[in-house]
Structure 1
Amino acid sequence: MQSYLLLALLPAVLACTNPDTNSCASFMSVNSATAGPFCTSFTNAVVTATAGLPAWATHCSNKVKEISKECSCYYTAGPNPQPTTQQPPPTTVVTSVVTATSTGSTPPVETGSCGSANQQQLVGFGVGTTGGGSGAGTTVTSCSALTSAASAGGVVRISGQLSGCGVITVRSGTSFLGVGSNSGLTGGSFRLNGVTNVIFRNLALTRPPEGRDLIDIENSTYIWIDHCDLSAAGIVGDKDFYDGLADAKRESDFITISWTKFRDHWKASLIGHSDSFSADSGNLRVTYHHNLWSNINSRTPSIRFGTAHIYSSCYENIPTSGINSRMGANVLVEQNSFVNTNLAIVTDLDSDLEGYANQRNNIFTNSPTRITRAGTWTAPYSYTLDPASCICSLVKARAGTGVISV
C-alpha cells in the first residue's frame, strides 16, 4: 500500500517530464479535462498496485509513482511537492564534500593538469581483464573469418570495416582489436553471454542489427572496452530500431569502459536488465572514464541496482537525460563537463525506486540536475582524474579509434 498526496488544480511548472518523449507527460499536458478531476480525487487516495487507476493510466504504464509525479507536475504541488529540477546558472562548477564508505577508498590522483591519465592503462572495476593475451593472434578481413576466430578465442585483429556480420558470439578469453583508425563492424553486434575476460579496443562499431546492441553483455564478467567509437544513425527515426551501444545486464560485473566515443544514438548504455531483476543487486560494477558522450538522447548511462564510477568525461547535447541512477543504484560522478545536457544527473526518473548520486567537481553548462538522494559511495581503487575544465578538448582528441597502437 502506498499513499500519494496530490494537489489542487492550479497549473504549475515543476520541471515536468518532456511530453515529447514521455507518453504519461504527453497525455497529462493535453488532457487536463480528463486527468484533472482524477488528480483531484486522487488526493489522499490509497491505491494498491493498479486498483483504482483509470483506463488512461496505461499511458503511464500503470505506475502509481509516475502518475503521482505528473499529476503533481501539471497541478500545483502542496506540502509534499515532487523534487524540482535544479537549474544552475549557465555555467556552474559544483563541488561537494564526500564521505568515504566504511569499506575504505583510495583517494584519486589530481594533478591539476590536463592529459595526466595514462591512456594505455586499464583502471577501475575491470582491472584483471587480460582478454586473449598478448600474442599476434589472427587477423580477419571478412565476416566468416571473424565468426570463426571469435569462436576460437585468443587475439582477433579486425582489419577494415566489415559489413553485415550479424551477431558475433564471443567466448571467454578473447581480445578484439581494430587495425588502424577505421576497423570494426557496420551492421554487426558482439554478444557476450556467460563469458569472462574479454577486451574490445580500437574498434569503430556502428548501426547494429535491428533490435540489437553493438556490444551486448549478459551474465559476463571482466570486460574492458577501450578507445572505441560506438554510434548509430543519430536521434532520428524509430528510437527502438537499434538497441544500446554498450549494455550490461543479468548479473554482469567488473567492467571498465574508457576513452570511448558514444555518439549519435537514442540510448547509449543501459546497466541492469529490468526493475524486477533484483539478482543484479551486488553486481553491475562499472567504471566509465575519459569518454565522450555526444548527441545521445538518454542512458549515458542508465543504471539499475549496480554501482557506477563516471569520471573525467565530456557530455554534449543530451536532450532527455544523462546519468540516470535508478532502483537503488549508486553512482559517483566527478570531474565531468556537461554542456546542453538535460537532467545531467538524475535519481528519480523512469523507475519506482530512486537511485543515489554522489557528485563532485563537475562543470554544468546549461545542464540542470535532479538529485533526490545524495550518495556517499567512493571508489575502492586508485585512479587519475583529469580536470573538468579541459576534459572535452582532451577526449575529443584522444578518445576513439586511431589514437593508440594495439
Structure 2
Amino acid sequence: MPEPTADSADPPQGDDPEPPEIDLPSDAFDAVLDALAERDPGDPLRFEGFSVARGEETDDEGDGESVSDEYVLADGDRPTRLSERELHAALSERAPAVTDWYVFERVVGEFGPRRAFLRWLEDANGATVAARYAALAEGIERAWGELRITATVTDRGERRYDVRHADDAGVPVDELDAYDDPLDARDLVTFDEKGRYRPLKTAPSLAGDWVFPDLGPRDAYEAVETIYPATVANWHREREGELDVTHWREAMERQSGIYGVIKTWDRGEGYEHVNWVAEACCDDSQCLKRREWEYDDETDLDVDGGDGVFPCREPCSVVVSAARKWTRLESEVPRTYEFELTPSEKEQVEDIIDAVADGRIDEIREADTKEGANRYRARFLRAKLFDDEGNLGGVPTDPDEEDEE
C-alpha cells in the first residue's frame, strides 16, 4: 500500500505525551507561505489536526475592489481569519505539526524510497506527531541489517540521525571513528573485521568501530544505501506491490560466456541442486536479505528464504559465480571409495565440515580437544589418514575406476 503523505487525513488522536518545545524556523514558515501561494484561495494545506488556506477574495466594502482576509485557519472549530503576522503566531503554537510537514514535504521531498524509509524509521504512518516528537526527543532506534539507526529531533524540528554498527550501540561517539560524509561508507564496507574482502555487501560480516553521528535526512538515507546498496529501493518496491522478482530459471537462461555452463545443470535433473545453492548461499547466516526468488514462477524451493527486512529479488552475482563452480564439479562422474574410520573419526569429519560451513573455526580453542574441529585433532587425523602426497588414503571399490585414471 502506498505511503500516506505528510498532509493526509488526520490520524486518530489518543492520550499522547507532550511533545518537546519546538521553535518554528523561518524556513518552515516561508515554505508554508510558498505552498499556499501555489494553491487556489480556499484550497487548504492540511497538517495534523488543522489546515490553512488562502482567504477568498471578497468585496466587503461594496466599492467594487477585491480584498483578501489573507489566511484562514481551521482546527475543528469555526475557521479563523488571520493576517500573515497572526498566521505566524498561530503556526508557532503548532510548531511540531508544521515542522513535521516541512521536514517531509520540503527537506526530504519526493514520494519514493527515501521518504518512505525515513518515515518508517519513526513510524510516521502509525503514530501522531506528538507521540513521535516525544519519542524522537529520547531517540528512536531502528535496526536495518547490522545497522543501528537512531533518529532524534532538534528544538527546531530538524531530524538528525546516528548510523552505526549494531554491536556499537551505546558506545560514546568519541570512542568510535566518526564520519560526516555518507560516501565514506564505501570504504567501511569493503573489508570485514579481519581485513578480508567482502564480495557480498549484505553478508553479516560488516565491521564496526565507526559512526555517522549527526546526519541530516538525505545524508542518512545515502549512508544506508551505500552500506546496503538497493536494499531500501527494493524494500519500498515490495511495500508498493511493485517488486519485480527474477526467478532462478529465468536468471540462468540469460547467462552467457563462461557462466552459460550453468544452464546445462537444468537438463532433466529437476531443481534439487538449486535447493543446495540456496541453502549454501542464501541462509540468514550468510546473507541478510530475504530471498524472494524461487526455481520458477510455478515451483517454489524447499529451502526457507529467511526473515530479513529487505528482499532479494534475483540470484546475486555471488550465487551465480558459486553455481558456475558447482555446475562443473557436479558434472564429474561419481565414484565410490572405501575408507576405514572409527565412529569417532566419522563424527569428527562431520564436525569439521559443519564448523567450516558455519564459519565457527575461529571460535574453537586450541586447548579444547573435545571439539571435533579442533586444530590439533584435525592435524592428528591428517597425519593418520593422508599419504606422503597429501591424499586421503581411500580405495575405489571398483578396481576398473582406478584403471581408468
- Assess same fold via TM > 0.5: no
- TM-score, with structure 1 as normaliser: 0.21
More strand by share: 1
More helix by share: 2
- TM-score, with structure 2 as normaliser: 0.21
**Bigger Rg, structure 1 or 2:** 2
